[in-house]
Structure 1
Amino acid sequence: MNQAEKQFPDNARTTRTHAGESIRDARNWPGLVLCAVGLVLVAATLTAAGYGFAGWAVIAGVACVLCLVVGVWLVVAEHRRVKENDLALHEPRDH
């Protein structure tokens, strides 16, 4: 085996240059947690609305939208930061 075959990550068997980027990079975790909280708040909003608690439904709905928007923004911002800093991503396939 030459040095190129021992290279990590295994580029010969992965289709994307940064497979698992969201989990490996700890800077993505706040965005992922906010997205998960936003999904839980969707369920809370629907439950509160279904039981007739209009005030709680509005509060949960606003919190849901805020969590989802900020969470997605954080994940996208971190992905763009990684993409700009990594020269290996600037290739004709545009990954």
Structure 2
Amino acid sequence: MTEPETFRTDQQTSRRTTGRRSLRRRHAGEGLEDTYNVPGIVLCGLAVVALAITLTAAGYGFAGWAVIAGVVCVVCGIAGVAWLMVERRRMNRRGPPIADRQGH
């Protein structure tokens, strides 16, 4: 009978701690602790509202307002996504590796 393997090899451990898993948050509530990403979320919300305004203005035939709202939609969307990407990179660089973290 073979004994169960209790130790992981270095290759198995590194595969588990790198890749897609490292893109997730380190612990529950981390997104609430760091409020630097709130402006990005607000900008994305404004982009959605501007999209609704664009479609409404275009539907009623207000071409000028539709163009203005469309430009606002694109600018807010790009700025919001860029803000969230920058903050995600900052959080990934700031946090300790999963193996070094203490607690639950």
For 2:91, which of 69, 82, 91 is the aligned residue?
82
SS in structure 2 of the partner of residue 87 of structure 1 = coil
2:87 is aligned with what amino acid? E
CA distance in 2, matches of 1:59, 1:46: 12
CA distance in 1, matches of 2:82, 2:32: 16
- TM-score of the aligned structures, taking structure 2 as reference length: 0.65
Matched, 1:27 2:59: no
Note the C-alpha offset of 1:25: 1.5
Runs of 4+ residues over 6 Å off in structure 1: none
Note the C-alpha offset of 1:81: 0.4
Note the C-alpha offset of 1:22: 3.5
SS in structure 1 of the partner of residue 61 of structure 2 = coil
CA distance in 2, matches of 1:52, 1:89: 55
1:57 is aligned with what amino acid? A
Alignment correspondent of 1:49: 58
CA distance in 2, matches of 1:75, 1:35: 9
| 82 and 89 in structure 1: CA distance in 2 versus 1, 3 angstrom threshold | farther
Alignment correspondent of 2:11: none
Note the C-alpha offset of 1:20: 4.2
1:17 is aligned with what amino acid? R
For 1:64, which of 64, 67, 73 is the aligned residue?
73
CA distance in 2, matches of 1:33, 1:64: 12
For 1:37, which of 34, 37, 46 is the aligned residue?
46
Aligned CA RMSD, in angstroms, stands at 2.2
Structure 1: stretches of 5+ with no match in the other structure: 1-14, 91-95
Q: Identical aligned pairs, as a percentage?
A: 53
1:40 is aligned with what amino acid? V
Note the C-alpha offset of 1:19: 4.0
